[in-house]
Amino acid sequence: MSRQGNCYDNAYIESFWSSMKIEAIFGRRFLKRDEARSAVFDYIEGFYNPRRRHSALGYLSPINFESQLN
pLDDT of 5: 66
The answer to whether residues 24 and 30 touch, using CB atoms and an 8 Å cutoff, is no
> What is the dihedral angle through the alpha carbons of 12, 17, 19, 25, rounded to the nearest 10 degrees?
170
Whether the pLDDT of residue 2 is over 60: the answer is no
Q: Is residue 65 part of a domain?
A: yes
Q: Is residue 28 part of a domain?
A: yes
Q: Is residue 3 part of a domain?
A: no
Between the alpha carbon of residue 27 and those of residues 38, 57, 65, the distances in Å are 16, 30, 31
Whether the pLDDT of residue 13 is over 90: the answer is no
The number of domains in the chain is 1
In this prediction, residues 62-67 reach a mean pLDDT of 87
pLDDT of 4: 67
Q: Is residue 1 part of a domain?
A: no
Domain, as residue range, for 31: 11-69
For the segment 14-61, what is each residue's pLDDT rounded down to a tens digit? 888 898 999 889 999 999 999 999 999 999 988 887 888 888 888 988
pLDDT of 1: 53
